[in-house]
A and B are shown apart, each in its own frame.
Chain A
Amino acid sequence: MYRPLLIVLAVCLVFVASASAHPERPTAFPTGDADVPKYRSKGPSQVVCKADSRKRIQKAFRGKGPKNTRLRKVRYRVLKRCKFEHIQAAVDAAKSGDRILILPGVYKEEPSRAFEHNKPSCGELFDPGDGHGKYATYAYQLKCPNSRNLIFIGGDQNDDGTCDEKCDLQVEGLGRKPTDVLIEGDRLKEDVIRADRADGIYIKNVHTDQGSFNAIDVVETNGFRLGDLEATWSQNYGVLSFTSDNGLYEDIEAYGNGDSGIYPGSGPETHCNGYGIEIRRVNSHGNVLGYSGTAGNGTFVHDSNFSNNSAGISDDSFASGHPGMPQDCSKWEGNKINSNNVNYFELDNQQYCAKTPFEDRPRERVCPQFQVPVGSGFILYGVNDNLFINNEITDNWRSGARLFWVPATIRGENDPAKQTDTSNGNKFMGNMMGVTMSGERAPNGIDFFWDEQGERNCWQANKAFGDQQPTSDPAPLPSCPGSPFKLVGNISKLAQEVPCATWNPDTNQMPVGCTWFTTPPKPR
């Protein structure tokens, strides 16, 4: 039986561990109501094509059936209106409410590539020394849209913080599938597509690849929709949103990214009154993390698959510079989080990565950009009031779900009253632990691993194989509603994760005392 020790016992027992975060200029949550954009099949449009688009249309929609014939003819008609060879040129010509129709082809955005990366005359990149890292201001992005982005969609033309031009754009690939419109990063510019203060943006049916940082990056945007996408082989993130609200991620396949496949970071501050970002039917695999969200608040994630990564899902309150800390109020329901045991931290891979810059690596090489405990399903560090309901969590060889406290000082807040404000009120209910929905046994190393810290954390009606109970440390776990008192963490668990903080991909690939990077044995 765990002991309901009050937090007042403390002298400092703490502990812990991981997930990611990214540097961005200081941002603020958008204000005002907005809806998730609806799909529009009509309205003014700018058309982009390549010399071989006709041939590609023919190939993508070949066949004499009525549907293929119709779709082909529609695209041939659109092709006749094509005025732009590059997507950025079409964005530049667009007005609010326009659709940008991209015909099948490979888009390398040569004029954007030709623009010097971090060109000095664009202005300074700021490193204020407060932990945000180096960033470009919005004014910088406006002045030099292609200094750090292959395609820049800036909605705020006078830098007053609101979208006043190029709002409600719908950027749509007209292929049969996302890969028919490939937007290929140059492996140097940070973002392949950056939508910044671009309220109402809808990006649909394209494949973005090879971002030096992110394939798709949506910042300070109120109302966005990202659907029918592939986001692959970026150095860090596949699809990322930051201090954005009223959004939808749907039907996205993300793989091969060195941090996470998707990242709804600094999510909406709903304070548990609804969810601002919905995420559905995402398949994120072969990344270091399937999903991560520093301050990933107010998201509803369902019917998605986060499997075959190094770790499946991370939500956390680790980093400074992320509005909305500490993380809270997300819901996870009906997802599959399976077999997250891919080890990108093997020493030979890390050594290769350390000596080979991103731009010189083979396209399909994953180099870890963030440290995670390999073999983990959920890794939850410093999160509050989240619901984990009816998920299938299997075959994660280290642990199915880990829950740890993070003191506020780690996110840069030193107020003594805030130090125990994380790892409270999380509920795990009805999850299938180590057993698939179809009843097959696929054990996790341990189903639940908890540092024993916090109040109102609870576990109830989770299922295991046959008549068994889910495995846990501690055992048993508190049932709902959990302890009304703030419990004190277990120092032996807490201390063992800290050495992993010293990981550095160049200078300290296998830290002393860190167990995260060795693949755990397959559980029997």
Chain B
Amino acid sequence: MRRTALAALCAAASAAGLAACGGGEDSTAVAPARGAATPIVAERGLSWVALPEAYDIKELPGDRVIQGELRNNTGEPVDLRVDQVDVRDTGGKPLRISVRFAQAFGHALYGPGGPPAPLEASRYDQARLGERVTLPSGETQPITLAWREQDGVAADSVKVSGYELELPR
């Protein structure tokens, strides 16, 4: 019962980007949800809580998307910014991506002329929308990442704020 309550809180907090799921062995108390992979052993640095599954996007051949959760095992806060995510193919070529440190679509308030440019909304909005988030050590943060493969060459790796992570196939 206690584990269940903890898991519920963890899930809710994670949805909020509050990082309550992060750190230590407690994170294994959370049952995987549909589509999520088995939790993986935490590594030093920035790592996946569980290696996410990559989905093809039927209408966009070559585009793939993942949704997962990052854990900060660096021992210090990490500044996560959408302009510091880099996906490369097996030939080392950078790929076009869409990324948010969030699980959900969200948007800024649009005045006349539409939305602000990336990373130009208020810091409040950048955090709310998952454009820029400071991830404390030991905590977790959701991420949704799409990339476009070109000429049939597969994506190979992703770097987030300088930390290299495995990219699911």
Question: A residues engaging B (CB < 8 A)?
Answer: 3, 5, 7-18, 20-23, 127-134, 190, 212-213, 235-236, 259, 318-321, 358, 368-371, 381, 405-420, 488-492, 494-508, 511-515, 518
Contacts and interface: CB of A to CB of B under 8 A. Distances in A.
18 contacts: A8-B7, A10-B30, A11-B10, A12-B142, A14-B15, A18-B107, A129-B123, A131-B109, A131-B124, A319-B109, A406-B106, A410-B106, A496-B55, A498-B102, A499-B144, A501-B106, A513-B64, A518-B59
B114 A369 contact: yes
Given A499-B144, A506-B114, A12 B57 contact: no
Interface stretch (B73-81, B93-101, B158-166): B93-101
B11 A10 contact: yes
A513 B112 contact: no
Closest 6 pairs (CB-CB, A-B): A513-B146, A10-B11, A491-B35, A14-B103, A499-B98, A17-B105
A419 B16 CA distance: 6
Contact of B104 (A7, A127, A132, A498): A498
Contact of B103 (A128, A235, A498, A515): A498
A29 B50 CA distance: 44
A171 B169 CA distance: 63
B102 A410 contact: yes
Contact of B36 (A11, A235, A412, A500): A11
B40 interface: no
Given A15-B105, A236-B110, A501-B98, 20 more contacts: A13-B103, A14-B15, A14-B104, A14-B142, A129-B124, A130-B122, A131-B121, A131-B124, A320-B109, A369-B113, A406-B104, A409-B128, A410-B102, A416-B18, A491-B34, A497-B105, A498-B100, A503-B115, A508-B118, A513-B146
Given A127-B122, A412-B124, A318 B69 contact: no
Interface of B: 4-5, 7-18, 20-21, 30-36, 49-50, 53, 55, 57, 59-60, 63-67, 69, 82, 96-100, 102-115, 117-118, 121-125, 128-129, 142, 144, 146-148
Nearest to A3: B34
B98 A512 contact: yes
Contacts of A368: 114
Contact of A132 (B11, B109, B112): B109
Contacts of A507: 117-118
Nearest to B62: A512
A412 B142 contact: no
B124 A409 contact: no
Contacts of B35: 13, 490-492
Nearest to A507: B117
Nearest to B107: A318
A496 B14 contact: no
Contact of B128 (A410, A491, A513): A410
Contact of B11 (A3, A7, A511, A514): A7
B65 A11 contact: no
Contact of B117 (A133, A498, A504): A504
Given A11-B69, A13-B67, A407-B16, A498 B55 contact: no
Main secondary structure of the interface of A (DSSP, over half): loop
A11 B33 contact: yes
* Most chain B beta carbons < 10 A, residue from A13, A22, A130, A512: A512
A494 B104 contact: yes
Contacts of B107: 18, 21, 318-319, 370-371, 501
A321 B13 contact: no
Contacts of B108: 131, 133, 319
B103 to A, nearest CB: 4
A491 B65 CA distance: 11
A305 to B, nearest CB: 26
Nearest to B103: A14
Contact of B109 (A7, A13, A133, A235): A133
Given A11-B14, A507-B118, A501 B129 contact: yes
Contacts of A21: 107, 109-110
Contacts of B14: 10-12
B4 to A, nearest CB: 5
Nearest to A492: B55
A215 to B, nearest CB: 12
Given A410-B128, A488-B34, A512 B103 contact: no
A504 B115 contact: yes
B62 to A, nearest CB: 9
Given A13-B33, A416-B13, A498-B67, A8 B112 contact: no
B31 A11 contact: yes
B66 to A, nearest CB: 7
A131 B125 contact: yes
A513 B109 contact: no
Contacts of A213: 111-112
Contacts of B10: 10-11
A513 B13 contact: no
A278 B36 CA distance: 44
